[in-house]
Structure 1
Amino acid sequence: MMALLTPIRTRPRMDRRSTVWHVDWVLVLGVVALSSIGAMLIWSATHGRTSLTDGNQYAFLLRHALNFAIGLVLAIGAAVTDPRRVRILAPVLYAASVVGLILVLVPGVGAVINGSRSWIQLPWMSIQPSEFAKLAVIVGMALLIAEKGETDHHDTARTVDVAQAIGVAAVPVVLVMLQPDLGTVMVLGSIVFGIIAVSGVPKRWMLGLVTAGVVVAALAIKLQVLKDYQLARFIAFADPSQDPQGIGYNVNQARIAIGNGGVFGQGLFHGGQTQNAFVPEQHTDFVFTVAGEELGLIGAGAIIVLFALVLLRGLRIAINARDAFGRLVATGIVCWFAFQAFENIGMTLGIMPVTGLPLPFVSYGGSSMFACLLAIGLLQNIHLRSHRF
């Protein structure tokens, strides 16, 4: 396990004849494995639901594969882009994500799905700008802190730099809150906390961020920014038995599905809860319940192990990054994947509130897949640069 985090500079140099040899193939294989497992789980959860598939049992399986293929092209593009150009494009990505978050709030442009106005409906697909906002916040904050440090010759971020970086993150956070999308706000909060934590600021900033988060949450409830159904989800989290046929239905059915799986599972395509469609949104937000029921503790545990592998490789890339920008970007991506995976799996187990977050690489969804694979491409970009000098 410790070998995964061993700095590259302590190992013998590799043959530099081709960039391919420098790719972090363990990270690639971990992501491919997660997506492949996700494809099987999505297929199992959707193949018998004609209302979703219009009679084509392979519909969601093929779409998931197509989303992964498109995302892979985006990842390769991000990986081979010159690092200097990545910095130039960072403000463009940030501006585009902000524009997208504004557009979803415009009546007639943004579409309401599951109570949240988070989507832009196009003739051929739906786009969720908040997924790309996660990556935009990472590169925006990292660029500002890194550029300030390099210009002023500071090894660690100053208070004014951190304050400006938080301001960069605040714009998307406010726009996402207006949708409202509490789950994405929580992910953005974890990203901000992680980037600030490794920027070198005094520890009191960490306490200040936690306090600010509590205050913002209290104000959101007080000013009724959150919808009634979102507050009800927290109530159901605290006591799922309070309304088992209403707001607590998802959590209860998810627990039953995972409990049915036991150690070895009931077998792919043979889960009672899954095949009878008792768990809502099982190909998206609750895809982990398919693994728990049909693949059992072994299969569900394998997904968690694969996520741990991806996170460890991301941490290794952050440790070996040659500059502050790379270190901060890699850290932000790791925080994003770690919190979102924990929240998604946790809500299916009843240890976290239901927030509607997909499981990275595993859940069905184009916007999520594209954003996550772009992030993997950036990790590879940082990793490749650490080998070039």
Structure 2
Amino acid sequence: MNVAFDKPSPWQRIQPVFQGFDLPLVFIVAFLCGLGLVNMYSVGFDNGSRFFDQARNMLLAAGVLFLVAQVPPQRLMALAVPVYTVGVLLLVATALFGLTKKGATRWLNLGLVIQPSEVMKIAAPLMLAWWFQRREGQLRPLDFAVACGLLLVPVALVLKQPDLGTSLLVLSSGLYVIFFAGLNWRLILPVLLAGAIGITLIVSYQGDLCQPGVKWVGLHDYQKNRVCTLLDPTTDPLGKGFHIIQGMIAIGSGGVTGKGFMQGTQTHLEFIPERTTDFVFAAYSEEHGLVGNLLLMAGFLALIFRGLVIAAQAPTLFSRLLAGSLSLSFFTYAFVNMGMVSGILPVVGVPLPFISYGGTAMVTLGLALGMLMSIAKSRGLMQR
């Protein structure tokens, strides 16, 4: 007896690949990318390729997101140790054989010039999530100490380059994993208290501490200058304080509704330095004002909230820790970038997600979002 089978259509063949995608997350990311492209069209006026290059970067990141989303969390966990190990070895190779530009050794030429520190933004939380998954149900203080050691190794190597901004991002992404794993508040509060005391002392004695020739333990002179400039940018308004002053002028001049698309005077008269990268938020604020800023912040809050929902519903400890860390990493990116442009944090090289121009940073975002999507898909499969 012959039984006839209908040949599946092309859509029926590829449909399983798209099943389980978290649509709210897709819409939020698309919204933020849309804001970023509109803003890039204006702020990149002096370089006609910036808008199209950023669109290409976003398409590349979308491709990375789609591919990583097909990798189940179990496979991601199996890749944690190799990825972390390779990342640390690349950082060591960078310290020994890396390319030096503007006094910083952050790049490595492997036929293609790469920045290994970008790998650690993902590798560090991936490794720590793997570690706590292995120790699930039997966590001891020693396990948290080992986790801190695994985190401090890449942070120290990145800080040595020197790259304070990236080291802070790597550190925060790892600390989020440690916090979600159940770190006791009795260990957290003393660190916060020490930080508050340190900030108070710097503010109180900035006149003496910021004098030329005074060394700060653990910080390079340019890093000390950034903190001192933050406290009083008017001490060098045409030099070290220029970035902060122009950023605050642009943000303040935007008012409630902004000056309008393509109408930013600070932006288009080229007063804002690095207006397509680190200081893109100042240019955005000038043209779109408070209303535009609230819209942008609402997009970031929605992204973080959706990521935390995915983390809360994840089926394994590894997935929960990784998703929670990646979600709060978006908060770190946005808060640090907006804070340094607004004059409440020192200037460090941290891009604003989806808004700042950059290929490597955009691909890293796509990789993080792909992992979030993978965890969301695994949750859907478990529920079925």
TM-score under structure 1 length normalisation: 0.84
Cα distance, 1:137 vs. partner?
0.5
Is the counterpart of residue 116 in structure 1 residue 116 in structure 2?
no
Is the counterpart of residue 162 in structure 1 residue 152 in structure 2?
no
Conservation of the 8 A alpha-carbon contact between 1:79 and 1:377: yes
The runs of 4+ residues in structure 1 deviating greater than 4 Å are 121-124, 208-218, 221-225
Unaligned runs of 5+ in 1: 1-16
The correspondence for 1:47, drawn from 37, 45, 48, is 45
Give the whole-Å Cα distance in 1 for the aligned partners of 2:221 and 2:104. 12
Conservation of the 8 A alpha-carbon contact between 1:19 and 1:384: no
Cα distance, 1:21 vs. partner?
4.8
Cα distance, 1:129 vs. partner?
2.2
Cα distance, 1:350 vs. partner?
1.0
Q: Secondary structure at the match of 1:117?
A: strand
Is the counterpart of residue 181 in structure 1 residue 176 in structure 2?
no
Conservation of the 8 A alpha-carbon contact between 2:254 and 2:287: yes
Give 2:311's aligned residue.
Answer: 318
| Residue pairs, 1:366-377, within 5 angstroms | 366-377=359-370
Q: Deviations over 1:226-267 (max 9, x none)?
A: 322221110111112121111110000001111121122112
Give the whole-Å Cα distance in 2 for the aligned partners of 1:345 and 1:203. 28
Is the counterpart of residue 203 in structure 1 residue 185 in structure 2?
yes
Give 1:5's aligned residue.
Answer: none
Q: How many equivalent pairs are there?
A: 355
Is the counterpart of residue 241 in structure 1 residue 234 in structure 2?
yes
| Residue pairs, 1:11-30, within 5 angstroms | 18=16, 20-30=18-28
Conservation of the 8 A alpha-carbon contact between 2:250 and 2:282: yes
Q: Secondary structure at the match of 1:118?
A: strand
Unaligned runs of 5+ in 2: 1-14, 202-213
Change (3 A) 1:385 1:264: same
| Residue pairs, 1:284-363, within 5 angstroms | 284-363=277-356
| Residue pairs, 1:72-111, within 5 angstroms | 72-107=62-97, 109-111=98-100
Conservation of the 8 A alpha-carbon contact between 2:176 and 2:324: yes
Cα distance, 1:333 vs. partner?
0.8
Amino acid at match of 1:29: F
- Percent sequence identity over matched residues? 35
Amino acid at match of 1:305: A
Q: Deviations over 1:310-340 (max 9, x none)?
A: 0000110111111110111011112211112
Q: Deviations over 1:54-107 (max 9, x none)?
A: xxx1x1112111111111111112111122211111122212322332233235
Q: Which moved more, 1:205-214 or 1:94-103?
A: 205-214
Conservation of the 8 A alpha-carbon contact between 2:216 and 2:224: no
| Residue pairs, 1:272-291, within 5 angstroms | 272-291=265-284
Q: Secondary structure at the match of 1:290?
A: helix
Give 2:133's aligned residue.
Answer: 146
Change (3 A) 1:231 1:383: same
Give the whole-Å Cα distance in 2 for the aligned partners of 1:211 and 1:173. 22
Q: Secondary structure at the match of 2:107?
A: strand
CA RMSD, 1 decimal:
2.5
Q: Which moved more, 1:167-176 or 1:208-217?
A: 208-217
Give the whole-Å Cα distance in 2 for the aligned partners of 1:296 and 1:343. 19
Conservation of the 8 A alpha-carbon contact between 1:97 and 1:136: yes
Give 1:9's aligned residue.
Answer: none
Conservation of the 8 A alpha-carbon contact between 1:103 and 1:110: no
